[in-house]
Amino acid sequence: MKAMILAAGLGTRLRPLTLHTPKPLLAVADQPLIVWHLRALAAVGVTQVVINTAWLGQRLVEVLGDGSQWGVQILWSHESEPLETAGGIVQALPLLLQDQLQDQLGDQPFLLINGDVWTRFDFAELVDVELGQNLAHVLLVDNPPQHPNGDFYLATDGQVLSDAPDGQAKLTFAGISVLSPRLFAGLEVGKRALAPLLRAAMQAGQVTGQHLQQPWVDVGTIERLEQLDQQIRAEQL
């Protein structure tokens, strides 16, 4: 399985830190957020990783290079302007199909990770996910304070629905998923969000999921970044 890390966001809520440093390069416990992911992926044998860039993309390339320092091979997908989540994936799909990756992703699922989340989740749990006729398998977490209403509903049979039954609570999308390239079939490059595509697949009964129980943080503000750094250093996470 191959992986893609989304790293093209502007990081506006983390300014002024992100005026000169792209969000995935912000460090917690002396290690950039994105390097936590690269190390975790390499540890489970996922060694070819596509990273999309837009804002301060060259800085990401300067720091991460070809990825060999962390045991992976990085393939860069540069965007002249941020294409949002699905748009960035659509642009990167041809790159994933080139050269040594040509026989890997034609109809093979890939792991997608937001570059601005941190987790202790073991990606080995996703490497062998079989989608079958499904288009996605998503990780969901308990709703954090900043997102109390959640995104999707996880049914007892593992299906994920866009709407919860009466009296039931939704969970929050963790920004980690296994996706089929078929989810993006026929789409042209351009700005496009991922959520509408997932919701359409949910309506067709083609999305499964699981409840992520390990520590997870959406590092979307300076306060959460600082708190995460302190908790890791104190071995609380």
The pLDDT assigned to 141 comes to: 98
Residue from 181, 225, 210 nearest 123 by CA: 210
Mean pLDDT, the chain, rounded, equals: 91
Q: Higher confidence at residue 17 or residue 30?
A: 30
Query: Domain coordinates of the chain in residue numbers?
Result: 2-233
Is pLDDT above 80 for 99?
no
> What whole-number percentage of the chain has pLDDT above 90?
76
User: What are the pLDDT digits (tens) for 202-214?
Assistant: 999 999 999 999 9
The pLDDT assigned to 102 comes to: 43
For residue 108, which phi and psi values (nearest 5 degrees)? -90, 135
Q: Which two tokens stand for residue 48?
A: 């070819």
Fold of 2-233: Spore Coat Polysaccharide Biosynthesis Protein SpsA; Chain A (3.90.550)
Our CA angle for 233, 116, 48, nearest 5°, is 100
| Alpha carbon distance 136, 126 (integer Å) | 11
| Alpha carbon distance 59, 167 (integer Å) | 47
Q: Quick one: 156 exposed, middle or buried, by C-beta within 10 A (0-12, 13-18, 19+)?
A: exposed
* Long-range contacts of 99-105, Cβ-Cβ distance < 8 Å, separation of 24 or more: 100/48, 101/2, 101/48, 101/75, 104/2, 104/48, 105/2, 105/181
Please report which confidence band the pLDDT of residue 72 belongs to, taking 50, 70 and 90 as the band edges: very high
User: What are the pLDDT digits (tens) for 111-149?
Assistant: 999 999 999 999 999 998 999 999 999 999 999 999 999
pTM of the model: 0.93
| Alpha carbon distance 22, 79 (integer Å) | 14
